[in-house]
Each structure stands twice: as C-alpha cells, then as structure tokens.
Amino acid sequence: FIINSAAYTNVEKAEKNSTLCYEVNSDAVKNLAVLCNKFKSHLIHLSTDYVFDGTKSIPYTENDATKPLNVYGDSKNKGDEYIKNSGCDYIIFRTSWVYGPNGNNFVKNILQKAILNDKLEVVCDQYGSPTSSLFIAEIIEKYLNIQSLNNFTAPNEIFNLCPSGSTSWLNLADTALKHAHKINPKYKTNLVSIGSKQYKTLAKRPKYS
C-alpha cells in the first residue's frame, strides 16, 4: 500500500504558481499511479471537495460530476483522473476543510491571527464539513486493517470522506476561538461576518461543498 497525502494545498497561491501546483497535484500523482500499477501496489490517495463547483444545496455524492472553480481544485481533479485511468488498484478519499495539529490550516491560522488582531473578518456564506486530520488517519488505519484481516483488495472506489454535519468558515472560526479561550484567555478577538464578494481573492471557491 502507498498512502499519498502529499499535495500543493495553498489555494490562493496556486492561481499564480499554477505550474508548480499541477506538477505536484497532477503530474506527480500520475507518475505515482503508473509505478503503483507496475509494482502492484495499492494506492490510497487524498483528494478534495474543491473538485466540485459548490452550486448544489444538498450534500455532494461520489457520483456527482466534478467541476472545479480554481487551479487547486482542477489540479487535484486531474490527479484523480490520472489514478482512475492508470490501471492501478486504488481508493481515493475526498476530504474537506482539513484541520489538525500539524501543517498549515484554517483553524491554526485563525488562532494565530487572534493573538495579533483585535478584529478578524471571516466569510459567512461558504459552507463545508470541517474534517480532522486525525479522523482521516483513523479511517485509513481501519481501511488497512480490514484489508489485512480479510486478505482482500477492495474494488477501486472514490469516497467523500468527512464527518457528519456542516458549518461556515465564520462558525468554524467562532467555535475554535471559544474552545481556545477556555484554555488560554489570550485567544479572544472580535469576528466580523462578511460575504464572499467582500473578501477579495484570486481563487474562486465553492460556496457549498
């Protein structure tokens, strides 16, 4: 088994650094899939909810058509397609709004900015399912254990992997700060609700994923 959790994940910078983004999220994944097919390795690959355009108002299923809005989403979607067409054994987990103790993520950024700013503007009209990196690791571990115990290779499949429920970026920021404040009073700031149109970015993002 090969677990690929490597990716270029800076959605905003991907718009300017598209060549590097596609090299990491598309081309490198294609090479990995080819090697997995050659050496009969089973590829476990992490993808993203940003392969969708966010125009739905009910949760996306695995059978919904992909239509990414930005370079990052398109690069990940191309990587997924390369895997599917490579002939290797695979499972693709599409994750969403990943946060955790390591790496760079929204929750950590909010906590860091809260220490330095009295007021933070956060988008209120984009909705998704925050997913813990620890939760993703637990699911992968369970998947590997099932494969090992049954000596069984599951059919090639894509799963949308996230916990139940959904929220907005604003709600996620508010919840994170409230929990952090209980631990340390320094985590306290005034959150200001703004719409996507007010928050100027290079990359378009799905409003509902």
DSSP annotation of 49: G
Q: State yes or no: is 72 an active-site residue.
A: yes
89-95 and 157-160 strand pairing: parallel
User: One of 72, 82, 143, 208 is an active-site residue; which one?
Assistant: 72
In sequence order, which residues have a C-beta less than 8 Å from that of residue 200 and are 6 or more positions away? Answer: none
CB-based contact 21:72 (threshold 8 Å):
yes
What's the half-sphere exposure (Cβ side, CA atoms, 13 Å) at 146?
A: 8
- Smallest CA-to-CA distance from 206 within 15, 45, 57 is with 57
- Smallest CA-to-CA distance from 90 within 149, 45, 24, 39 is with 45
List the catalytic residues: 72
